[in-house]
Amino acid sequence: MNILRPLSPHLPIYKPQLTSTFSISHRISGAFLATIVFFFYLLCLKIGLICFTYENFYQFFFYSSKLILISVEITALALSYHLYNGVRHLLTDFSGFFFRKKKIEMTVQN
């Protein structure tokens, strides 16, 4: 008798914990910042200011000019969050290195 067993619910039912929220926000902000950096690289370094001479491009920037302020705010939020959380990770994950440097005990009997 071949019955496919269901998988118990995970993401839909698990209560968002502080720890998991920090972790996923770090990942999302990191991905967001990476795309921002990539698009800025493409726009500023690859194409340059000549992009504004293309009509469609200029139209797009003109009509979305009001949104630029809010997206800059969001990017600043993502950057600051990612930075602080990164520093927190460095401090907590590598605390063992700094405090136990004097006596790195590998509990080997030889």
Site residues, another protein (CB under 8 A): 3-11, 13-15, 17-20, 23-24, 89, 92-93, 96-97, 100, 104, 106-110
Vertex 91 angle, CA 88 and 97, to 5°: 155
Cβ 90 to another protein, closest distance in Å? 11
The alpha carbon of residue 44 and the mean position of all alpha carbons in its chain are separated, in whole angstroms, by 22
The CB-of-29 to another protein minimum distance in angstroms stands at: 14
First to last CA, the chain: 55
Task: Between 67 and 108, name the residue whose CB sits nearer to another protein.
Answer: 108
Cβ proximity to another protein, 75 vs 85, nearer residue: 85
Enter the tokens of residue 62.
């003109």
Angle at 81 between CA 99 and CA 9, to 5 degrees: 90
* Closer CB to another protein, 8 or 53, in the complex: 8
82 is in an annotated binding site: yes
Sequence ranges of the binding site for heme: 82
